[in-house]
């Protein structure tokens, strides 16, 4: 590019720059739209919920009456739900034959067993026994019936030669009272 061309180019540029300046247009105002506030920082997130406090689970002494009743309630719950196989497994070594056990409970429709208050623990020959009354209700041959029974629970004391399983409560037997 020679000097003449450079000066001509510069003049064109200067003249163009001196022309009328364009001002940016203001946005059209919409008077029907609601006026929104300027955005601000998002609100702080708060957790108004109190965390769920779980009750500490107290350890139950496995030798206690409470432990025996917990085991018996589990047995009764299984019977009430018709889970005779699982309930039978909670019986101790003196359990009746399976057919006798099934006959005692499966003949009821609408079986409901409730657990009464436990008596005192009694000791004999290295074992501890606990008697707990039961009430068995349901329908036999279409008739409502109720009968009483006593669950005899047993555990072996901490004697030499006893096994861990023997030292836990189990259902020794169920003694049937009067009734159907």
CA–CA separation, 122 and 101 (whole Å): 26
CA–CA separation, 87 and 93 (whole Å): 14
For position 113, what pLDDT does the model report?
95
pLDDT, tens digit, 9 for 90 and up, residues 82-137:
999 999 988 887 888 999 888 888 888 889 999 999 999 999 888 999 999 999 99
Q: Is 84 helix (H, G, I), strand (E, B) or coil?
A: helix
For position 70, what pLDDT does the model report?
95
Residue 24 has pLDDT above 60, yes or no: no
For position 59, what pLDDT does the model report?
83
For position 4, what pLDDT does the model report?
54
- Tell me the whole-structure pTM to 2 decimals: 0.63
For position 125, what pLDDT does the model report?
82
- Answer yes or no: are the C-beta atoms of 95 and 84 closer than 8 Å: no
Average pLDDT over residues 144-149: 93
- Strands annotated E in the chain: 109-115, 122-124, 127-140, 143-156, 170-176
For position 91, what pLDDT does the model report?
86
For position 12, what pLDDT does the model report?
46
pLDDT, tens digit, 9 for 90 and up, residues 30-83:
556 555 556 555 655 555 555 566 666 678 888 899 999 999 999 999 999 999
Residue 179 has pLDDT above 50, yes or no: no
């Amino acid at each position: 590019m020679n000097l003449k061309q450079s000066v001509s180019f510069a003049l064109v540029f200067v003249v163009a720059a001196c022309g009328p300046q364009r001002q940016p247009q203001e946005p059209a105002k919409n008077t029907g739209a609601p006026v929104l506030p300027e955005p601000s920082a998002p609100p702080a997130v708060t957790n108004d919920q109190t965390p769920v406090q779980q009750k500490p689970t107290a350890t139950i002494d496995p030798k206690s009456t409470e432990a025996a009743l917990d085991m018996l309630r589990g047995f009764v719950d299984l019977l009430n739900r018709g889970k005779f196989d699982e309930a039978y497994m909670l019986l101790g070594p003196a359990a009746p034959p399976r057919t006798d056990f099934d006959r005692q409970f499966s003949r009821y429709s609408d079986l409901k067993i409730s657990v009464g208050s436990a008596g005192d623990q009694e000791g004999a020959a290295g074992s501890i026994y606990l008697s707990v009354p039961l009430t068995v209700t349901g329908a036999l041959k279409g008739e409502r019936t109720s009968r009483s029974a006593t669950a005899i629970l047993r555990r072996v004391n901490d004697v030499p030669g006893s096994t861990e399983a023997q030292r836990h409560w189990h259902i020794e037997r169920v003694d049937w009272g009067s009734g159907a």
